[in-house]
A = this chain, B = another copy of it.
C-alpha cells in the first residue's frame, strides 16, 4: 500500500503516452493489446491515481469521462452547439495565487478548468439575443 500497484503504474504510463484525455474503456482497449488486464482493474487504478492526485478527469457534453495525467495541464473551449473541443494554448491560472481559503491551508494538487460557449462557425447560426460575452 506504500506505493503504486503494477496496474496503477501501467495505467499511469499509458496515460502519459496520450496526447489527449482518454476514456477508461479506450484505455482498456489500448492496454489489453500489450498485456492481460481487466477493465475493473483499469477503473480501480484510475480511482486510486485520482485520489493520489496524479490523474484528473473531465466529462464531455456527451457524458463520457476522459482521464489524463495532472502534468499535462490542459484546458478546453467546448462549443455548446457542435460539441467540438478546442485546446487552450496555455493554462490561464499559470502563476495565479489563490486567495487564502476557508481552513486557509488547503493543499492543492491540481485543478480542472473548462470554458463553454460557441465556436466561430456555430456563432453565425445563432440569434443575436442569445449572445453573451465575447472573448
Contact = CB atoms under 8 A, between A and B. Distances in A.
Nearest to A106: B77
Contacts of A99: 88-90, 92
Interface of A: 50-53, 56, 59, 61, 65, 77, 79-81, 86-90, 92-93, 96-99, 101-121, 123, 130-135
Contact of A105 (B90, B111, B114, B134): B134
Given A106-B135, A108-B117, A112-B112, 11 more contacts: A53-B116, A53-B132, A86-B101, A88-B99, A89-B99, A89-B101, A92-B99, A97-B135, A98-B115, A103-B120, A112-B114
Contact of A112 (B96, B110, B113, B134): B113
